Structure 1
Amino acid sequence: MNNPEIEPGLQPAQTLRVQEVAVYRGPHLYSRTKMVRIQLDLGSLEQYPTNLLPGFVDALLKHVPGLREHGCSYGEPGGLVLRMEEGTWLGHVAEHVAIELQNMAGADVARGKTRSVTNMPGVYNVMFEYENEDVGLLAGRFAMELVNFLLPIELQGLAGADMIAPSPLALFAMPEALRVLRAMHSEIAFGPTTASIVREAEARSIPWRRLDNSSLVQLGYGKHIKRIRASCSSLTSEIAAEIASDKELTNRLLIEAGLPAPLGTVVSSVEEAVEAARTIGLPVVIKPVDGNHGRGVNIGLSSQSEVEWGFEQARAHSSQVLVEQQFVGGDHRILVIGGRLVAAAKRVPAQVVGDGRGTIAQLIDRKNEDPRRGNGHESALTRISIDECLIHYIARSGYTLASVPEWGNPVMLLPTANLSTGGTAIDCTEDIHPDNALIACRAALFLALT
C-alpha cells in the first residue's frame, strides 16, 4: 500500500482517467441539488472492486475517518464501510471522499450518487453536492488523488486531474490538501447576514446560487431572479452597477443567459496571461477586470511579446487582468432605459489625418487645440494624451511620434474608442439593427440595469 504523502516515483500507464467535468448550479437531469459531475474511466480498475484491494479500506478510513459515518444505501452510519467491505467500485468511493473532504473543510454537504455510463463499460458519472463551487471542484480533485495514491503501486495512475481543478500542491499530501481546502472555505465563507438570508431561502425552498467569491447571491431563476450582497438587494440598482463594473462576471452571466459575449479568463501573472491567450486563440484583448475609461485596455494582441506587454499595461490599473476573445467590428455605446433602447452611438478611436508636413506629435497638438477638448470629462471631448500605450500602438503600424503621414492618410492613435482617451462619438440610433437592439435590451434587463 502506497503512502499518499510520499512521492510514488515513476508511474505506470494511467488506470484512472477523468473524461468530463460539469458543474450543475441548479436543478438538472440527476438531481435538484447543485452538484459537480466527474466522468471517470476506471480502466483496468473496473476489475478491482474494493474487496479485491487488500488494505485499501483501512488505509482510506485512516485518512478520512468521517467516512465511517456515511450511511450510503444502507441509510445508517457504517453503511459505506459495509459497502466497501462487500465490494464497490472506486468511482463510488471517490464520490464519498469528495463529500467528506468538503465537510472536513467546514462545509455541510451530503448528497451524492455514482452511476455507470450506458454503453461505456468501466466509465462512471461521479456526482456530489457542493456549497462553494471552487471548494467542491478542488475536493473532487483531491478525492481522486487520494484514491489513486492508496492503490497498490502497480495499479496507480491518474490522468486528467487538471480538468477538475488546478492544484496548488506540487505533490499531493493529505494534510496539505486539508489545509488548502479549509483555508479556501474560510476565505470565501458567507458573512452572517448573507448566511442567514441563504438559510431562510433554503427553509422556504427558494433555489439559490453563489455568483462570485464576494457573497453575491442569486435567489430564484428566470423572471423571478433576485440578487443580494449582504443586506443589499437588487431592489435597488447598486448590485447591478457592481456586476456591470466586473467585466468577467458580466461576461459569464451574459453567456449563461444565452446572450453573445466574448470568452475570457482572469489571470494574475504574465505566465497565466500567455497561457490564456494560447487557449483562447490569438489575437486577444487584455484589460483590467474592474477598470474604466479605457485605461489599460489593449486589443489585437497577436504575439507572446504583445500579450506580455498588454498584461503589464492592464495590471497597472488592477490586480486582476482579463484576457478575452476578440470580436472584430465597430465600437458602439447603447443606452437602454425602462427596457427600451433610446440611443446608440458609434465610438471612433482618437486619430489624426496626415497633411504631408506635420509629424504625428504635431498633428496631435493641433487636434488638442480644438476648444471642445479639455481634461477629463470637463468638456465635450477629451484631449489626446501621449503615453506609452499610444506610442506602442502607433509603432504596430510602423509609426513613431516623429513620423510624417502622407496627406489624407488617417493614423489611429489608440486601440480603444473611449471619449476619455480622445475618441469621438457619432449618433447611430436610427441605424442600429433590430437584433442588436434586442440583445442590448435583454442584457440590461438580465443584469437589472434598467
Structure 2
Amino acid sequence: MKLKKIIYAWISKTFMDGCSNYNSLQVRKSCRSKKQARDKFKQGGIAHAQGMIFFNPFKAVKFAKKYGFPLVIKPNVSGFSRGSHFPINNYQQLWKAMFFAKCWWPFTVVEQYLQGHNYRVVVANGQIMSVLERYAPFVIGDGQSTIEQLIDVENNTREKMGLYPCMSPLQKGKQTTYFLKKSGYTLTSIPAVDENVTLFYRISLAPGGVVEVIEKTTLPEANQKLFKQVLALFDANILGIDVIMENGINQDHRDQKVIFLEVNSRPYLKMHNYPRYGKAEDLSAHFDALDKLEISQSDIY
C-alpha cells in the first residue's frame, strides 16, 4: 500500500500537475477508459458516438466500412488528447492513426466523429462550475502577413497575456509545415482578411491550442440539466465532461447533433485560469466547497 501511494504521488506530480483530485478511487476507476464512459453514457441514455475498443487493427477497418468516415482514433487510456487523431477521412489516415495511437496504449478506440464545437464542461457538486470552448491551433489572416508572421504576432500576444505557464506557443516546425501542406499552405502563404488557418488537427494545449470562457448563464436549462445528469450518472463530486455540439452549447441539445466523448475524473482545472478569449472566472467558491469534501483513498491510483 505504501508503495502504491509513492507511485501515485509520482504519477500525479509528473503527469497531472494542475489536475484536481476530488473523487474517490472508485469513481476514478470508473472513468479511466473511453469504453467505460461509453457504456455509462449508453446506460444513462446520453448521446454518444458509435465506437469500439480493439487490439486487432482490422477490426477498426471493418468498423470504418460499416459506419463510414470521418472517425476518431485514440488510446483507450490516455489524457490531454495524447495519441488522439481526428478527423480521419480515409483508410490511409486510419492506418497511420492506429500506429501512432498504439504507441501510447495497445488497446485502441475507434469512434464516429462529429464536426462541431468542442467543449470542456466542468460540473461540481451538482452545479455547472465552468465551461470552456476548445480550439485547435490557428491564426487569422489580415491579408498582408504570412502565416509565419501571424504565428509570431500571436505568440507575442500570448506572452504579454501571461498564458505560457499553461498554454503553449504556436509551432513552426515539421509538424506544422506538414499539416499546412496538406491544406495547401506554407509558412509563407498570406491568408485573406479574417481567413482562419488551422495549424494542427489536435484540440490540445501542447501543440498550441487555446480555450475560450463561455458564460455559464447562457446555457439553456435543458443543457445544464443534461450535464448535471452526467455527473450523477458517474456518482462523482466533479467531472470534466468533453462534448461536441454541432451548433453550439448555447442551443438546446435536443435541437442539434451532440456527441459526448468522455469524462475526466481529475479534470485539468489550471487551464481555466488562462483563457485566450474571455475573462477568467473566480471559481474560489467551488473550490471551497470541494475542499470540504472527505475523499476516499485520494492518495491511491
TM-score category (smaller protein) = 0.5 to 0.7
Task: Kindly indicate whether residue 152 of structure 2 is the aligned counterpart of residue 365 of structure 1.
Answer: yes
Show the counterpart of 2:134.
Answer: 347
Which secondary structure does the structure 2 equivalent of 1:318 belong to? coil
State the distance in 2 between where 1:373 and 1:275 align: 47
Task: Kindly indicate whether residue 220 of structure 2 is the aligned counterpart of residue 433 of structure 1.
Answer: yes
CA contact (8 A) 2:23 2:236 kept: no
TM-score by length of 2: 0.62
- The unaligned stretches of length 5 or more in structure 1 are 1-234
Letter aligned with residue 320 of structure 1: F
Q: Give 1:410-429 correspondences, 5 Å limit.
A: 410-428=196-214, 429=216
Which secondary structure does the structure 1 equivalent of 2:74 belong to? strand
Share of identical aligned residues, percent? Answer: 23
CA contact (8 A) 1:349 1:422 kept: yes
TM-score by length of 1: 0.43
Which secondary structure does the structure 2 equivalent of 1:441 belong to? helix
CA contact (8 A) 2:70 2:87 kept: yes
- The unaligned stretches of length 5 or more in structure 2 are 1-21, 238-301
Describe the superposition over 1:407-428 as per-residue Cα deviations: whole angstroms up to 9, x where unpaired: 3311012333333432222222
Q: 1:399 aligns with which of 185, 196, 201?
A: 185
Displacement of 1:317 after TM fit? 2.1
CA contact (8 A) 2:55 2:107 kept: yes
Describe the superposition over 1:347-386 as per-residue Cα deviations: whole angstroms up to 9, x where unpaired: 2222112234444344323322331578xx9624222345
Q: 1:253 aligns with which of 40, 50, 54?
A: 40
Displacement of 1:246 after TM fit? 1.0
CA contact (8 A) 2:139 2:150 kept: yes
CA contact (8 A) 1:353 1:411 kept: yes
Q: Give 1:22-37 correspondences, 5 Å limit.
A: none
Show the counterpart of 1:241.
Answer: 28
State the distance in 2 between where 1:306 and 1:366 align: 32
CA contact (8 A) 1:294 1:416 kept: yes
Show the counterpart of 2:165.
Answer: 379
| Counterparts in 2 of 1:288 and 1:355: CA distance versus 1, 3 Å | same
Displacement of 1:334 after TM fit? 0.9
Which secondary structure does the structure 2 equivalent of 1:291 belong to? coil
In our comparison, the structure showing a higher alpha carbon Rg is 1
Displacement of 1:330 after TM fit? 0.5
| Counterparts in 2 of 1:312 and 1:390: CA distance versus 1, 3 Å | farther
Which secondary structure does the structure 2 equivalent of 1:282 belong to? coil
Which secondary structure does the structure 1 equivalent of 2:159 belong to? coil
Q: Give 1:60-209 correspondences, 5 Å limit.
A: none
Letter aligned with residue 78 of structure 2: G
Compare 252-261 and 349-358 and name the one that shifted more. 349-358
State the distance in 1 between where 2:207 and 2:51 align: 24
| Counterparts in 2 of 1:288 and 1:406: CA distance versus 1, 3 Å | same
| Counterparts in 2 of 1:395 and 1:253: CA distance versus 1, 3 Å | farther
Task: Kindly indicate whether residue 90 of structure 2 is the aligned counterpart of residue 303 of structure 1.
Answer: yes
RMSD of aligned C-alpha atoms?
2.7
Q: 1:329 aligns with which of 90, 94, 116?
A: 116
Letter aligned with residue 379 of structure 1: P
Which secondary structure does the structure 1 equivalent of 2:104 belong to? coil
State the distance in 2 between where 1:292 and 1:357 align: 38
State the distance in 2 between where 1:319 and 1:373 align: 40
Show the counterpart of 2:267.
Answer: none
Q: Which has the higher contact order (CA 8 A, sep 6+)?
A: 2
State the distance in 2 between where 1:236 and 1:292 align: 17
State the distance in 2 between where 1:303 and 1:312 align: 15
CA contact (8 A) 1:264 1:323 kept: yes
